Amino acid sequence: MSTPLILPEVQAAILAGGQSRRMGKPKLFLDFRGNAFIAHLLLQLQQQVNHVMIAGAPDPRLLADLGVDVLPDAQADLGPLGGIATALAHARREWLLLVPCDNPLLPANYAARLLHTARERQAPLAYVRKQGREQPLYAIVRRDLRDSLAAYLASGERKVLPWYASVGAVALDWDDAGLAFDNLNTPEDYAAFLVAAQGS
């Protein structure tokens, strides 16, 4: 098996600001094979990029032992775009890779394939679409979109896909990702995922 490629022009942000209302508890702390979702994501991302941060965490003290930058949202109640804006404000590389904390699995070529798609299609933002369903928080964003996002949020808008469309985002169809990218929103989703993961 080949070693995942470390991409020096990319850093990553795990989006940890979701309310997890339907799940009933924060998804980032759900257990998978003895570790929390957030720990699995961090390990997988650190095999693909050199710098990972956590954005939108409601209480950074709960994540202090992970050894990475934990950034509370600068402004509350902006939804997922608030977390993306926070991460972009702290980004120091050309590209920012995004991952929600909804699922502990990522493909080993997650960063490389999204970066290749964005560059090949000359787009400043590329995101995943799995089996016809858009998964916009699995994405890579060029850092210079931070001002565009700030203006969009300042206008009162909060929806993710309309902003993506406004900057010329492209979707990457990624249907062969196994259990990765699947939304786990309820206890039933989580239980089904654990069963399916046992057989994979």
What is the average pLDDT across 134-148?
97
Quick one: DSSP state of residue 24?
Answer: S
Residue 5 has pLDDT above 90, yes or no: no
> How confident is the model at residue 200, as a pLDDT?
64
What is the average pLDDT across 86-97?
96
Strands 170-173 and 125-130: parallel
* SS3 of residue 43 by DSSP: helix
Least confident of 72-76, 112-116, 178-182: 72-76
Please give the residue that has the higher pLDDT: either 2 or 172.
172
Residue 15 pLDDT class (50, 70, 90 cuts): very high
> How confident is the model at residue 1, as a pLDDT?
40
Q: Is the dihedral of CA 94, 113, 105, 132 positive or negative?
A: positive
Residue 91 has pLDDT above 90, yes or no: yes
Q: pLDDT per residue over 157-177, tens digit each?
A: 999 999 999 999 999 999 999
> How confident is the model at residue 153, as a pLDDT?
96
- Listing DSSP states for 64-107 in one string gives GGG-SEEE--SSSS-THHHHHHHHHHH--SSEEEEEETT-S---
Distance CA 30, CA 37 (A): 6
Residue 19 has pLDDT above 70, yes or no: no
The C-alpha angle with vertex 47 and arms to 46 and 53, in degrees rounded to 5, equals: 15
Tokens (6 digits) for 65: 């032992």
Average pLDDT score over the chain: 92
Please give the residue that has the higher pLDDT: either 43 or 75.
43
Neighbours of 108 (CB within 10 A): 15
Q: pLDDT per residue over 31-40, tens digit each?
A: 999 999 999 9
